[in-house]
Amino acid sequence: MKILVTGAAGFIGFYLVEKLISIGHSIVGIDNINDYYDTNLKYSRLSHSGVKQTEIQYGKKVNSSAISGYIFIKLDLTDREGLFSLFAEEHFDCVCNLAAQAGVRYSLENPYTYIDSNINGFLNVLEACKLHGIQHLVYASSSSVYGINEKVPFAVTDTVDHPVSLYAATKRSNELMAYTYSHLFGIPCTGLRFFTVYGPWGRPDMAYYKFAYAIFNNKPIEIYNNGDMLRDFTYIDDIVEGITAAINHIPSNKFAIYNLGNNRPEKLTDFIDVLENALVRKAEKVYLGMQAGDVPVTMADIEITQRELGWQPKTSIADGLKLFADWFISYYKSP
């Protein structure tokens, strides 16, 4: 298939592009390369995929020098004209929308950014899919939609009407918007609720990455809710396998939502112990209260995902963090 991957310079998008190319698809990747976090990391990911920073200009197609069948374009989802022109020219079979303004805490201070990217940008994607007869739209949602849900594990059949951050609210809005377009226009749509994705080339705003960076710079790490947090940390390779399975499974009733989570939540303090072992360094710890927008527990019920997509996470925390630590040390060339 010819597949559009939005957010191709992002953590998950970068891995997904290389996976889809490896199994024979042709890929157009787009990303606005915003400065929410270090753009050097985004350009490094692109460089790893054979897209040279010196060749990137807004709206210009760049052919990968390393991966046959991969084209990258710097493009913003809010650029309706540019996005619609791309759809008209490329005739995509499938769209995988991973582009979004990420981050729970950032949404507390920058709310309009989330509406622009996650609502208006996603609307442009839906409209383009409608106008150009896309066979399947797969899009990123988030475990944050479960909000203050006290039932664990979180199941896709649970009520998700109580988000505790604007980021979560925009992700839930995406699910409702996708359902509407699926119902009205027959666009097959699959939403994927990701649970705390980690691994090499990850996002510097994520806690595990911040911990590693602080440890290597001999700075204290801040542990919220006094470490009394459970997170369903899910390794990047497992996430990408889940996305690939979803792309290949068009829902029979045109609409589906799945959890992609490890189904084995780790206590945050235990996770830090494993990270310290992987980095072979000890952290100075500062314990703080709960942050606004945070929830104490995330845990995915993946029974439906296993049954319908045949997906099962395989990577242990020890193995995943060792791979992350090895990459981190190599990338930053820390002493």
Q: Residues 6 or more apart from 88 whose CB is under 8 A from it?
A: 132
Active site residue 167: yes
- The catalytic position among 15, 37, 146, 167 is 167
The lowest-confidence range among 160-164, 233-237, 249-253 is 160-164
Q: How far apart are CA 144 and CA 240, in angstroms?
A: 19
Q: Residues 6 or more apart from 291 whose CB is under 8 A from it?
A: 105, 224, 225
Of 2.40.50.140, 3.40.50.2000, 3.40.50.720, 3.10.20.600, which CATH number belongs to 2-197+235-262+298-314?
3.40.50.720
Give the sign of the dihedral formed by CA 264, CA 269, CA 273, CA 275. positive
pLDDT tens by residue, 276-321: 999 888 989 898 877 776 777 889 999 999 999 999 999 999 999 9
Q: How far apart are CA 16 and CA 99, in angstroms?
A: 12
Mean pLDDT of 162-180: 95
Quote the pTM value: 0.94
pLDDT tens by residue, 13-59: 999 999 999 999 999 999 999 999 999 999 999 999 999 999 999 99
pLDDT tens by residue, 71-91: 999 999 999 999 999 999 999
CB burial of residue 318 (10 Å; 0-12, 13-18, 19+): exposed
Strands 230-231 and 266-267: antiparallel
pLDDT tens by residue, 261-276: 998 888 888 899 999 9
DSSP state at residue 201? T
- Per-residue confidence band for 335, with pLDDT thresholds at 50, 70 and 90: very low
Mean pLDDT of 234-257: 97
pLDDT reported for residue 295: 74
